[in-house]
Structure 1
Amino acid sequence: MVDEAIVQPNIKEKVEVRKVLYKVVKRLIDILGGLVGCVLLVPITVAVYIARKILKEDDGPMFYEQLRLGKDGKHFKLYKYRSMIIGADEILKEYLANNEEARIEFEKNQKLRNDPRITKLGNFLRKTSLDEFPQFINILKGDMSLVGPRPIVDREVKLFGDKMEIVHSVRPGLTGYWAANGRSDTTYEQRVNMEAYYAENFSFSLDIKIILKTIKAVFEKEGAI
């Protein structure tokens, strides 16, 4: 008869070894992906610079930095191409104060389908997800991973409730289970559940499925903001 006291520790040890191996290999893949992404970032940045000049939307920095919450709840600077006009926060406050329907939508989903802050170029960058491309820098730095829960801002913590701890147990990602499965077509509650699901069930096979779905969604512009 097999001694359960011996079998159970062995199973736990194997699970832990697999987790460590997953994290090491995933980080190596992130570094490789980050390097490739940063190389591609150069011509894309040139194209964005030219487009900003042509559309006369160059009245502010090309890049946008925002503090987001990463692994273990630590803050980091997330990089994006600027897709909003200067003074966007003040414009949002005024817009929500004068538009009850929009205020309810924003409180529920933390975003607006018809956002008055987004520029013409910004709208294109968001629909194609190109606005997120500078985050390959974050991936190379180790702030983010290619796949993981999307990083949030401080005001969103309360919306995650008791699922916040498990979500913050992994690195945030450029794409993730929620981002690849509807994104703008889901409620915030659904987002929370999807992000928590990934954090509890991460694996190489799930990562591959998410990456393939993301590529498909980007080309078909599914769920773009």
Structure 2
Amino acid sequence: MSRENASTDAQTTPTTASADLTNAEAVRLLQGADSGVRPQSGRLAYRFVKRTFDIVASGSAIVVLAIPSAVLSAVIVAKSPGAGPFYSQARVGRVNQDGTYKIFRMWKFRSMVPDADERLAELKYMNEADGPLFKIKDDPRIIPGVGKFIRRHSIDELPQLLNVFVGDMSLIGPRPGLPCEIAQYDERAKRRLTVKAGCGGVWQAGERSDSSFIGMVDADLDYVENCSAGYDLRLVLGTIRSMFHGGGAY
């Protein structure tokens, strides 16, 4: 499916009825609810290769990055007294077999002050993203110095290798949305949920945070339609390149 056709085959603009939902309220709304879509089935050989690669690659990376992660954790604690180095957040992954939403805890290195979630409502007027997304280039909640650096290079995302290892996520796939974002999805955007969420993907290997919501959905649905082992490998390399470059991330 081309991105041009993807943009016009159905409306992508999410509803606004749930725009003011908090994440906790959205979790209660989505738990047990039928999403209206079903996970991709079939292609067993591809899914086996993908899962095997996820386990081997994430497990190896966790071992290699153990000491650097410990050092970074110490720096984060020093820069943000009273807060732990890790931060977890409810996210929505690939829907369950019966179409209900799969909600799991996604892990990150802490890049924001401990009360970042509580301050979200007061900063919504500064939102620079469209659709249900929330992005601020100069977010005042970011821990000075280390927080901005690890976000620019997506180092804060590395603990998600644990999510990959246990099977909540894959190395490559659509990024898992916040429940309050998913609650605003229309039927077309929900098709992002038919494959396993990923640490990186088409969006991260390309425009990253510079993309629009529609652009993100177009890119992810292109992946859903055309995913393959070769495509995944190219996106792994592209995501790593984007991490080093640091462009488009905030």
TM-score, normalised to structure 1, is 0.83
Cα distance in 2 for partners of 1:144, 1:162 equals 22
Alignment of 1:38-77 (within 5 A): 38-54=62-78, 56-72=79-95, 73-77=101-105
Alignment of 1:16-165 (within 5 A): 19-54=43-78, 56-72=79-95, 73-96=101-124, 100=125, 102-103=126-127, 105-106=128-129, 108=131, 109-120=133-144, 121-165=146-190
Task: State the superposition RMSD in angstroms.
Answer: 1.8
Query: Could you tell me whether the CA contact under 8 Å between 1:183 and 1:223 is conserved in 2?
Result: yes
Provide runs of 4+ in structure 1 moved above 6 Å. none
Query: Could you tell me whether the CA contact under 8 Å between 2:205 and 2:242 is conserved in 1?
Result: yes
The equivalent of 2:195 in structure 1 is 170
Offset of residue 91 of structure 1: 2.2
Query: Could you tell me whether the CA contact under 8 Å between 1:149 and 1:176 is conserved in 2?
Result: yes
Q: Radius of gyration: which is bigger?
A: 1
Q: What SS does structure 2 have at the residue aligned with 1:117?
A: coil
Cα distance in 1 for partners of 2:216, 2:155 equals 21
Deviations 1:97-142 (A, max 9, x none): xxx4x14x25544211111111121111111211000001000000
Please tell me the residue identity of whatever aligns with 1:85: V
Gaps of 5+ in 1: 1-15
Cα distance in 1 for partners of 2:249, 2:123 equals 22
Q: What SS does structure 1 have at the residue aligned with 2:71?
A: helix
Q: Tell me which of the two structures has the higher relative contact order, counting C-alpha pairs closer than 8 angstroms and 6 or more residues apart.
A: 2
Offset of residue 191 of structure 1: 0.7
Offset of residue 43 of structure 1: 1.2
Please tell me the residue identity of whatever aligns with 1:87: D
Query: Could you tell me whether the CA contact under 8 Å between 1:166 and 1:200 is conserved in 2?
Result: no
Deviations 1:138-158 (A, max 9, x none): 000000001000010111125
Gaps of 5+ in 2: 1-40, 96-100
Deviations 1:24-76 (A, max 9, x none): 1110000001101211331122111332355x323211111111111113011
Please tell me the residue identity of whatever aligns with 1:133: L
Alpha-carbon distance change, 53 to 81 in structure 1, aligned in 2, over 3 angstroms: closer
User: What percent identity do the matched residue pairs reach?
Assistant: 34
Deviations 1:167-201 (A, max 9, x none): 11111011011111111111111111111211121
Alpha-carbon distance change, 174 to 34 in structure 1, aligned in 2, over 3 angstroms: same
The equivalent of 1:182 in structure 2 is 207
Query: Could you tell me whether the CA contact under 8 Å between 2:92 and 2:178 is conserved in 1?
Result: yes
Query: Could you tell me whether the CA contact under 8 Å between 2:195 and 2:224 is conserved in 1?
Result: yes
Query: Could you tell me whether the CA contact under 8 Å between 1:41 and 1:134 is conserved in 2?
Result: no
Q: What SS does structure 2 have at the residue aligned with 1:93?
A: helix
TM-score, normalised to structure 2, is 0.75
Offset of residue 89 of structure 1: 2.2
